[in-house]
Amino acid sequence: MSAPTTRRWVLHVDLDQFIAAVEVLRNPDLLGRPVVVGGRGDPTERGVVSTASYEAREFGVVSGTPLRTAARRIPDAVFLPVDAEAYSAVSAVVMDTLRTLGVVVEVMGWDEAFLDVETSDPESFAETVHDTVLDATGLHCSVGIGDNKLRAKIATDLGKPRGIFRLTEENWFAVMGARSPEALWGIGRKTSKKLAALGIFTVQQLAEAPDRELAAVLGPNMGPWYARIARGIDHSAVSAEPWVAKSHSRETTFQQNLVDLPSITEHVRRLADRVREDIIAENRPAVRVTVKVRYAPFDTHTASMPITDPTFDADVIADSAAALVDRFDHGREVRLLGVRLEMAPPT
């Protein structure tokens, strides 16, 4: 009997309930309890959940859930403030640990990374990944195995928690064909609704849809791209190049709704000035500004415009952001404002 063939695999590593798990490591008394992390940790304030432990998710509390809603669903939950510095420090240990395995590691955020692996037994390697991370940090992870990044990423969700799952060309449609397009990495609820209007309700149907039909509704580039990912096609490589931010943003949730235009505009200008400080720190000028408005109770809209000449100029940036306020509905109460500045590429 011939030995298994060594070949290239893509593994996607995703830390299970990462932020909540870090908090449990810091305070073992939280183990087994519903833990909700978000905002300043005060469920009487406006804010959203950053992450929730699996015990809290059983009550329908997930990332993005308003904190007040979480408190109503789980009155005895433990609410904690976001501690980005602590999570970043633990994440650095995780990524350094993955690099000790002698493979290419592409960091995707605090809690996930892609690995480019040459092996004849990807499941065994995935087990090594899990055990190595657990030994180094006390954190569990799930590992998706794929023949490209798209399939590996989706496989991770199919194996959670603490699981290993393989998704390749061979079993793609058997596993994914009957699922909603929302199961694909890159398709959200809004796009799924547009697809449903075309009579497309499954990954299989999307994979078989004519590019021309999709392009007419979803755009000449995005329409055919959705069909490609429905077929599991992804040619992007795993890269160890450091991640480079394309933009910086700041946002504020107000405890009392804003109702007058001058106040809204002034807050936008202040946010723009704060983001300007972030891009100055990177020495990359602004090339586009976007303003985000969330109306009460929870309806979000954005508006964007290019900045003709890349700039750090405070007046140009603030004036551009303020000008975008005119595009929104001034008759509605505002609960959140945000400003994002896209930066010129690094030189």
Look up residue 6 and give its two tokens: 């060594």
- pLDDT at site 26: 95
Look up residue 237 and give its two tokens: 């490589």
SS3 63: coil
SS3 284: coil
What stretches of the chain show up as alpha helix (H) in DSSP? 18-26, 54-57, 67-73, 84-99, 122-137, 149-159, 172-176, 189-197, 203-208, 211-218, 222-230, 261-282, 314-325
Domain boundaries, given as residue ranges, for the chain: 1-168, 175-230, 247-343
- pLDDT at site 59: 97
Q: Which CATH number fits domain 1-168: 3.30.1330.80, 3.40.630.30, 3.40.640.10, 3.30.70.270?
A: 3.30.70.270
State how far the Cα of 87 lies from the Cα of 158, in Å rounded to an integer: 25
- Residue in the block written with tokens 């976001």: 82
How many other C-beta atoms can be found within 10 angstroms of the C-beta atom of residue 67?
25
Which is the CATH superfamily of the domain at 247-343? DNA polymerase, Y-family, little finger domain (3.30.1490.100)
- pLDDT at site 338: 97
Residues annotated as catalytic (active site), given as ranges: 112
Give the sign of the dihedral formed by CA 101, CA 241, CA 111, CA 6: negative
> 122: buried, middle or exposed (CB in 10 Å: 19+, 13-18, 0-12)?
buried
- pLDDT at site 242: 81
* Backbone dihedral angles phi then psi of residue 36, each to the nearest 5 degrees: -125, 125
Residue 161 preceded by cis peptide, ω within 30: yes
How many other C-beta atoms can be found within 10 angstroms of the C-beta atom of residue 90?
21
DSSP 95-123: HHHHHTTSSEEEE-SSSEEEEEEEES-HH
Mean pLDDT in consecutive groups of 10 residues from the start of the chain, 347 residues: 83 96 96 95 92 96 93 97 95 97 95 97 98 97 98 97 97 98 92 94 97 92 96 95 88 93 96 96 96 93 95 96 95 96 91
Provide the angle, in degrees to the nearest 10, between the axes of the packed helices 222-230 and 211-218: 130
CA 80 from chain centre, in angstroms, equals: 21
- pLDDT at site 173: 98
pTM: 0.82
Just give the CATH number of 175-230: 1.10.150.20
- pLDDT at site 1: 56
> For the chain, first and last CA: distance in Å?
54
Q: Would you say 318 and 273 are in contact if contact means Cβ atoms under 8 Å apart?
A: yes
Secondary structure letter of residue 342 according to DSSP: E
